[in-house]
Structure 1
């Protein structure tokens, strides 16, 4: 027997492990099962090289939990270890260079995970165990089994073991804070989290599951004999169920490992539902399959999102040789694709010591660029070949595309010609198509709608005049409009209620008369509304039924939105100080109510009509405040009472 103390002060190393991984202490399961997978993979390679004759039994990893004994075992039938290899890989590598390693990382324990470096993946077991044992038998002919034991991460002993089959058994004697991992439900949950797609089958056994005693077996045999009345079909089904072998917890060949031509739509959807627990079908997907200049496989899904209720943050699961690494590592996945859901498996990833963070490396940037290109190619190809499908998906996918254009210059260059917009008739147009169709009426102006209900009055005016506007109702449209203006010289966007186009006005009102009317009505409305700062504009609108409307210059509205976004609203800052014209009440000189006010400035009902005209204009633009709505309802009742007399 060999005994010894670890060559570095363990009271330094294990607190570092535990401190960093305090919130992720279940990660030891991934590390130990990964070690088992590595052991099997090495043996498979030796077999391919002709240095090992594969046995008939399949490769597997077994996880055995004993809730009664508070133990957890990880068993593989891989390459195994000799005593010399245990000495090298467990006793020496982990600690021979650990002094310098600890010196480098001790102050970064909350920044960089250290599991996986200098053999420390195995030592993650001590996060949850007071005592750990290893039983191993190498594949080598005439190898002797070895037994290794370490308690509290301080002193170890190593001796000849009694294991008779090839492979390794690691037994964890769980500490008091970690008994949960002996619970069948809990350990299966962790295996599902980290090991769902590992390349070796993983089986679980509850060592303390109730065993059938002789009396139970006899009772079952007697019941079986009495069941002679059952049909042959029922008997066959029962026998089949009895003989059914236990199923592995993982899938060793996940969908992304297959060639796209070998995958069906149903398989893609089933995989999506299983991995992301989303009951809705994805819109479509992109299967990544690349061997050169780096190895990368994966599937990216465009989910159907309800922007009002769904979380806009997606989930990109990153794998390394089918071993789960992390969710949404931004170095690999472009920020705008974080809205997607998917799996990426890249064995060539330059992971740091933890396997769950990336080194800052030019290679990582190449992967990110490749993924961006594949997404752009898929979308542009759909636009060119399946325009109808592209339009069908547009309302759901446009947040992804617009966000990508805002965040990634290369993606913008690839996608700018494939951005489409719904117009007032519900048809989809590109920006050049919209400008070409309206060049005679509004030249390089692009009108847009942000709220189809609130701006319905303006929409109707546009339709009556044969003018068009684009529907841009999403939050992301505001910065996207700014981007479009930057990238399209001389093109300017105006919300549909920003100003009155000359198309809506007839020429019956002279400039002098309009000024005279404006002066009169400004005075009347100031007095009726009891406000000093109000801008009145009198126009002769073609639609005589339209009495009043509000306009707000595009510049002022954008400034107000910016002030609101940065918390500057309500601080006494007038948007007009930045050059904006502010809000304007437009009154129609061709409307009978406006004419009545002009003809009866001192009339008994004139103040009531002025207030009503203003509120009606506001209602067609935005909701009234609570106080204004109360007054509006009372005034409406008053007007109805007058009419009823």
Structure 2
């Protein structure tokens, strides 16, 4: 073979796919591309061997070896795959964007069909090497008997050089002479990190070696798992395997609650496992991670165009060969197959939840605290998801049992038809809960951070149903029927408290409550409270009194303290009566919410004065 020179040919008809679909955002992606090319070369050889068109070597260990040499400033990628002839080097390397994988598939299409196992589709993966290298050298020897080894070198321009190589083993070595501004890729630990990021599950064993170390040779163990769990059939996987895989991939030492194994061959190819993690607190729900793969090659985390946004609260792996390795998000948004894949994933998640509810209700109830934020967020973001799972949304009752909305409405239709009472803080609202229980009333516990939005969503979906927090309204069941003889007392009580009450109380009402132990209670308008909470959630608006909670003071005329106050001569004991009335209001406010520093200071001062009065008795 004679030494010769030439110019790299640019195929203009392939330039547009390059510009539109091959836009690298991460510099380290060249490692993924070159290792993927090596795996492709091995996959092609294996396929030819299965067709009887290539010689099978006994006990051959197919592998890709990455070699770091800081002293020489080189990074090598070696595979023992199909190799290339001089003609193939000129064809596949010198013509930018002419894909060897596509040519291979076209040639053998009648024998092997459309092969989803060949990664490259654009023919540009090799050229990513020039992002970090000032010069690239290829040494390759084809599997074809009688072929001569070839060396190809290029310094990143349009000129290349081809000459004979002394390589005597089938396969390819790509040597990168690293640029000064990319020296971090000569660090063994950096390269290891990148390989584990992108290539942890490639189907060919990958080894890493440092040529400068005294103990040379590849690692005893490959860096990757060639048969990830999602590639297995669900019936062949054990619970322990699912848990171990979860802990290994997501570095979470806690067991997941449960999982969904996706395994679809038609109308598209999709495999993966989605895990529902156990949450320590709700904020963890924002830390989900769904890894997207293409033929076991890592593409990116949390691609919401493929995986619906609400599913990104989960953790998992999705492998979809029908999607290209590098593609713009605008392309994904318009692609019909992507939409079908996204809808299918939603359906499988909904089916799993429904199946769990129907067949493992106790487990479903136990999981609810951890999964409710995911389910409620999913309903808010995707009405199709809500329609699939609306009948299995459950709520915790005051006694700790779980119930559906339909069941709650049916049980309470005679007491308060289509009205759903709920609590948001069982400790803070304990006084109200006590009164409800004594009146044989029930309420739902809604303590999820999304519940303020979720109940508004449910009210828009469930005709005629309204939600009212336990401190926003008084059921008739809590009241005694006032007799006419109490009318004068009620008016006196109302005037008494109306004159001295403050603390943002808009209205004073007098009721005869069944529970005589409670002198007064605060009700907060449901709508004003929701608006105030929504304002706080979105940063608030600095407009005084625009979204203040509207408070109503309910004074219980069935309480002996209140009755006693009406009997005291106001003109002789005005200061004491005002003190007691304000103190009663303080206690009512304290039972409704935490007092502000100023309110707490006033309460303590009044408490001391009340104690002083008690000492005078």
Alpha-carbon distance between aligned partners in 2 of 1:354 and 1:45, rounded to the nearest angstrom: 31
Alpha-carbon distance between aligned partners in 2 of 1:473 and 1:286, rounded to the nearest angstrom: 27
Partner residue, 2:134: 130
Corresponding position: 1:142 with 2:146: yes
Alpha-carbon distance between aligned partners in 1 of 2:532 and 2:514, rounded to the nearest angstrom: 31
Q: Structure 2 vs 1, CA of residues 483 and 284 (structure 1 numbering), >3 Å: closer, same or farther?
A: same
Which region of structure 1 is more displaced relative to structure 2, 486-495 or 314-323?
486-495
Partner residue, 1:40: 42
In the alignment, structure 2 segments of 5+ residues that lack a partner are 100-118
Alpha-carbon distance between aligned partners in 2 of 1:494 and 1:184, rounded to the nearest angstrom: 61
Partner residue, 2:370: 396
Which region of structure 1 is more displaced relative to structure 2, 130-139 or 563-572?
563-572
Q: If the length of structure 1 is used for normalisation, what is the TM-score?
A: 0.86
Q: CA RMSD in A?
A: 2.8
Q: 1:68 aligns with which of 66, 71, 79?
A: 71
Partner residue, 1:587: 555
SS of the equivalent of 1:312 reads helix
Partner residue, 1:614: 585
Alpha-carbon distance between aligned partners in 2 of 1:355 and 1:167, rounded to the nearest angstrom: 36
What displacement does 1:597 show?
Answer: 3.1
SS of the equivalent of 2:365 reads helix
What displacement does 1:53 show?
Answer: 2.0
What displacement does 1:629 show?
Answer: 0.7
Partner residue, 2:105: none
Deviations 1:168-189 (A, max 9, x none): 1000111112221111111111
What displacement does 1:542 show?
Answer: 1.4
Corresponding position: 1:474 with 2:478: no
Deviations 1:338-375 (A, max 9, x none): 11100011111255557997462111111111111111
Alpha-carbon distance between aligned partners in 2 of 1:39 and 1:589, rounded to the nearest angstrom: 88
Deviations 1:603-635 (A, max 9, x none): 131121122111111111111111111121122
SS of the equivalent of 1:279 reads coil
Partner residue, 1:177: 181
Which region of structure 1 is more displaced relative to structure 2, 597-606 or 471-480?
597-606
What displacement does 1:463 show?
Answer: 0.5
Q: If the length of structure 2 is used for normalisation, what is the TM-score?
A: 0.89
Alpha-carbon distance between aligned partners in 2 of 1:413 and 1:369, rounded to the nearest angstrom: 13
Alpha-carbon distance between aligned partners in 2 of 1:294 and 1:254, rounded to the nearest angstrom: 20
Q: 1:199 aligns with which of 200, 203, 220?
A: 203
Which region of structure 1 is more displaced relative to structure 2, 564-573 or 423-432?
564-573
The 5-angstrom pairing of residues 16-35 of structure 1 reads 21=24, 24-35=26-37
Q: Structure 2 vs 1, CA of residues 160 and 7 (structure 1 numbering), >3 Å: closer, same or farther?
A: same
Alpha-carbon distance between aligned partners in 2 of 1:420 and 1:259, rounded to the nearest angstrom: 32
Partner residue, 1:253: 227
Alpha-carbon distance between aligned partners in 2 of 1:574 and 1:187, rounded to the nearest angstrom: 57
8 Å CA contact retained: 2:494, 2:509: no
What displacement does 1:573 show?
Answer: 4.3
The 5-angstrom pairing of residues 355-394 of structure 1 reads 358=332, 360-394=334-368
Deviations 1:304-359 (A, max 9, x none): 11234525231110111101111111121111111110001111125555799746
Q: Structure 2 vs 1, CA of residues 81 and 353 (structure 1 numbering), >3 Å: closer, same or farther?
A: farther
Partner residue, 2:605: 634
Q: Structure 2 vs 1, CA of residues 355 and 504 (structure 1 numbering), >3 Å: closer, same or farther?
A: closer
Alpha-carbon distance between aligned partners in 2 of 1:524 and 1:558, rounded to the nearest angstrom: 28
Alpha-carbon distance between aligned partners in 1 of 2:132 and 2:98, rounded to the nearest angstrom: 20
The 5-angstrom pairing of residues 553-592 of structure 1 reads 553-575=525-547, 582-592=550-560
Partner residue, 1:538: 510
Deviations 1:233-291 (A, max 9, x none): xxxxxxxxxx9981111000000111111111111111001100111110001111111
SS of the equivalent of 2:592 reads coil
Alpha-carbon distance between aligned partners in 1 of 2:194 and 2:429, rounded to the nearest angstrom: 52
SS of the equivalent of 1:534 reads strand
8 Å CA contact retained: 2:494, 2:510: no
Alpha-carbon distance between aligned partners in 2 of 1:395 and 1:343, rounded to the nearest angstrom: 24
8 Å CA contact retained: 1:93, 1:118: no
Alpha-carbon distance between aligned partners in 2 of 1:168 and 1:567, rounded to the nearest angstrom: 58
Runs of 4+ with >6 A deviation: 354-357
What displacement does 1:165 show?
Answer: 0.7
What displacement does 1:638 show?
Answer: 2.3
Corresponding position: 1:547 with 2:519: yes
SS of the equivalent of 2:78 reads strand
The 5-angstrom pairing of residues 212-361 of structure 1 reads 246-350=220-324, 352-353=326-327, 358=332, 360-361=334-335
What displacement does 1:566 show?
Answer: 4.4
What displacement does 1:563 show?
Answer: 3.4
